[in-house]
């Protein structure tokens, strides 16, 4: 992360956005997953988190790709 912040400062950016998607198989389900989408905005100068967003969704009624798109669209 320190490298990303330094690069952002060098390019004159004021913030850095970090996105992360994690997934795990739902308990006792062959094709269902629990997905978590996270976004954190960091101040490029101080490295402090400015804001954070997290959403978790299961894929019981839609594919993992559709779930990700739904979560990213609400961020």
Residue 22, token pair as written in the block: 């994690």
16-44 tens-digit pLDDT: 999 999 999 888 887 889 999 999 999 99
- Tell how far CA 28 is from the center of its chain: 26
pLDDT, residue 42, reads 97
The per-residue pLDDT for 75 is: 56
CA distances from 52 to 61, 65, 67, 74 (A): 27, 22, 19, 13
Q: Are 34 and 14 in contact (CB under 8 A)?
A: no
**pLDDT band per the 50, 70, 90 thresholds, residue 53:** very high
Distance of CA 45 to the CA centre of its chain: 21
């Amino acid at each position: 992360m320190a490298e990303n912040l330094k690069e952002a400062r060098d390019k004159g950016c004021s913030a850095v956005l970090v996105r992360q998607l994690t997934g795990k198989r739902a308990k006792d389900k062959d094709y269902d997953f629990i997905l978590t989408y996270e976004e954190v905005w960091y101040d490029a100068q101080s490295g402090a988190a400015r804001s954070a967003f997290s959403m978790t969704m299961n894929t019981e009624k839609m594919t993992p790709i559709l779930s990700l798109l739904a979560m990213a669209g609400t961020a």
